[in-house]
């Protein structure tokens, strides 16, 4: 008996594993209606992950295979079982988004105003405990949400939003990125500045102080009003 025939007999034992073809199973997920009970099929999906599918008791199960150690979770990641508790612990690095509140009441006029990171006390510079934040990790401004209270002044005022930093070891205030909001302001109405709106990437390295300032070309309120401002940051947490 030839070696080729022996391999064919050995490979035919047990449940078959089909790799499909580049025009069929390999390029998309199989359907359980097209699979027999116990059948196993490999499929390489558009996200770059190779999955092994197996039909058991009429249900289609799958397990992802990786060539580089990366894994993809399409739906929920549950770390707590039905009968026991679980803990999701990061051992190296993860990325998430953090929210900061910068609300304050003031008549900003046309002065440069640094937003508070705690409390409601705005400042003329970031050399103040309330107007700067010491970054524990590298952070990138994902978006800024801005909503002024009732405007009684020039609603056509342009407002410049600027991200500043002070590097570790000095108190020089450097400009990181800026954006000029030019459309007409509307009382009690939100507008959003996205990361892509800034002139350059609004990224601040770990260990720096970060500040946010606003400056209007014309007094937008003509008096003291409340400004509601929220910033969202992409944070690269390293354990």
50 or 97: which leads in pLDDT: 97
Beta carbons within 8 Å of 151's beta carbon, 6+ residues apart: 185, 186, 187, 220, 221, 225
42 Cβ neighbours under 8 A, 6+ residues apart:
17, 18, 19, 20, 25, 26, 50, 51, 52, 53
156 and 60, same structural domain? no
Of 12-26, 65-79, 98-112, the one with minimum mean pLDDT is: 12-26
Q: Are residues 131 and 38 located together in one domain of the fold?
A: no
Identify whether residues 160 and 43 lie together within a single domain: no
29 and 115 co-located in one domain: no
Shared domain for 125 and 202, answered yes or no, is yes
Last residue of a domain, one of 44, 65, 86: 65
Chain position carrying tokens 């409340």: 226
Tell me, yes or no, whether 195 lies in a domain. yes
Confidence of residue 25 (pLDDT cuts 50, 70, 90): very low
Would strands 191-194 and 138-148 be described as parallel, antiparallel, or unpaired?
A: antiparallel
Q: Are 101 and 202 found together in one domain?
A: yes
Is residue 126 located within the same domain as residue 49?
no
Is 87 domain-assigned? no
Give the other-Cβ count within 10 Å of 73's Cβ.
8
80 pLDDT higher than 80? no
In a domain, 118, yes or no: yes
138 and 191, same domain (yes or no): yes
Of 63-72, 103-112, 176-185, 227-236, which gets the smallest average pLDDT?
A: 63-72
Residues 110 and 213 in one domain: yes
Query: Residues 114-134: what's their mean pLDDT?
Result: 94
CB 83 within 8 A of CB 229: no
| Phi, psi at 81, each rounded to 5° | -75, 175
Q: What is the number of structural domains in the chain? A: 2
**In a domain? residue 80:** no
Q: What is the average per-residue pLDDT within 7-24?
A: 44
**Per-residue pLDDT for 19 more than 60?**
no
Whether 89 is covered by a domain: the verdict is: no
Same domain, 25 and 117: no
Residue 9: inside a domain: no
What CATH number is associated with residue 145?
A: 2.60.120
Strand ranges for 50-137 from DSSP E: 50-56, 59-65, 93-101, 104-106, 113-114, 133-134
> Residue 179: inside a domain, yes or no?
yes
Whether residue 75 is contained in a domain is answered as no
Mean pLDDT over 150-171 rounds to: 90
Q: Are residues 154 and 105 in the same domain?
A: yes
What are the pLDDT digits (tens) for 187-238?
Answer: 999 999 999 999 999 999 999 999 999 999 999 888 899 999 999 999 999 9
Question: Are 30 and 98 in the same domain?
Answer: no
Residue 195 lies in domain: 94-238
Is the pLDDT reported for residue 8 higher than 50? no
């Amino acid at each position: 008996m030839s070696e080729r025939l022996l391999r064919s007999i050995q490979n035919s034992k047990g449940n078959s594993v089909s790799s499909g073809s580049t025009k069929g199973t390999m390029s998309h997920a199989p359907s359980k209606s097209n699979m027999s009970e116990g059948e196993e099929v490999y499929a390489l999906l558009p996200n770059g992950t190779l999955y092994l599918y197996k039909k058991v008791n009429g249900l289609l199960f799958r397990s992802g295979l990786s060539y580089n150690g990366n894994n993809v979770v399409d739906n929920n990641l549950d770390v707590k079982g039905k009968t026991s508790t679980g803990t999701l612990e990061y051992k190296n690095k993860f990325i998430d988004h953090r929210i900061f509140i910068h609300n304050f009441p003031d008549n900003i006029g046309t002065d440069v105003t640094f937003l508070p990171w705690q409390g409601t006390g705005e400042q003329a510079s970031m050399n103040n405990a309330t107007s700067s934040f010491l970054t524990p990790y590298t952070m990138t401004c994902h978006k800024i949400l801005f909503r002024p209270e009732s405007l009684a002044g020039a609603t056509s005022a342009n407002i410049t939003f600027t991200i500043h930093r002070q590097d570790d070891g000095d108190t020089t205030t450097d400009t990181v990125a800026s954006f000029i909001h030019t459309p007409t302001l509307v009382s009690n109405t939100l507008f959003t500045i996205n990361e892509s709106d800034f002139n350059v990437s609004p990224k601040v390295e770990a260990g720096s102080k970060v500040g946010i300032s606003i400056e209007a070309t014309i007094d937008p309120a003509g008096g003291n009003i409340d400004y509601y401002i929220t910033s969202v940051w992409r944070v690269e947490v390293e354990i």
